[in-house]
Amino acid sequence: MAAAEKCTGASDLGSNRGRFKPGGGLPFDSARRRAHGQPVTLADLRKEYSLAGLAEADLAREPFRQFEKWFQEAEAAKLPEPNAMLLATAGTDGRPSARTVLLKGLDGRGFVFYTNYESRKGRELAANPRATLVFPWFPIERQVIIEGAVTKVAREESEAYYATRPRASQLAAWVSQQSALVPARSVLEEGYKAVERRHEGQAVPTPPHWGGWRVVPETVEFWQGRRSRLHDRLRYRRQKDGWTVERLAP
């Protein structure tokens, strides 16, 4: 399939029309449908959240410590890639875009990830330096939502992190013109081989178009799933003299 070729997917959905029809089928929940041998529709898919609650008294005084606590609990629960987070950005035209990136740094200044500055997200952040992060820790019925301004990480900090990356990842950063159209995968593979030959036997420098972004939080929301969709939503909001905590309706 060519890089710009369109696919409607209509034929793929044809055999699943009952599943994707809103409210289609019998009015059973998913467990009862399966027990009765009935197809499960999207409207049937739901789960009651009951693992824990979240009260104001449970929170640390500031969001970074609270995030570290929840992150350690996500690691202890053996969630795959607990540092994976959804990054949402928007261009100057207001059109949003989103993708998953990895958290690679956290301190009192903010949340850090690394990428190609010439990618779509890089261009959007340069033009409109604001972002939202979401950590979707659904197996433990939690989310963390961070909103704030974005700044570039200092060059020396980006280079220090780049030096810790696997060599293959370092080489790949030179190859991929991230977000650009590619006529075929073979173009990437041949480009990788060329870069590998060029840097054989020597350290791979940090590309000038590659580095970190830091999301400086203005709000950090901790979301805990509860029964009957009455979830706990506690949000830290930055003020001049520190942080205040607000409870949001679910």
pLDDT tens for 6-62 read 544 444 444 444 443 444 443 446 667 677 778 889 988 889 999 999 999 999 999
What's the pLDDT score for residue 158? 98
Q: Residue 177 domain-assigned? A: no
Question: Could you give the angle at the alpha carbon of 99 between the alpha carbons of 130 and 113, nearest 5°?
Answer: 60
What's the pLDDT score for residue 17? 46
Q: Residue 4 domain-assigned? A: no
- Tokens 């890639």 correspond to what residue? 81
Report residue 203 CA to chain centroid gap.
30
| Radius of gyration of the chain, Cα coordinates, nearest whole angstrom | 22
What's the pLDDT score for residue 40? 85
Same domain, 28 and 117: no
Q: Residue 84 domain-assigned? A: yes
The total number of structural domains that make up the chain:
2
Q: Are strands 242-247 and 130-137 parallel, antiparallel or unpaired?
A: unpaired
Same domain, 24 and 111: no
What's the pLDDT score for residue 31? 67
Same domain, 150 and 233: yes
Residue tagged active-site, from 155, 167, 229, 247:
229
- Tokens 């942080």 correspond to what residue? 243
Q: Residue 240 domain-assigned? A: yes
Contact in structure between 247 and 56 (CB atoms under 8 Å): yes
Full domain range(s) for residue 93: 60-163+206-247
- Tokens 């593979």 correspond to what residue? 189
Same domain, 37 and 87: no
pTM of the model: 0.85
pLDDT in tens, 76-112: 999 999 999 999 999 999 999 999 999 999 999 999 9
What's the pLDDT score for residue 33? 67
pLDDT in tens, 191-249: 999 999 999 999 999 999 999 999 999 999 999 999 999 999 999 999 999 999 999 99
Same domain, 35 and 92: no
Q: Is 229 a catalytic residue?
A: yes
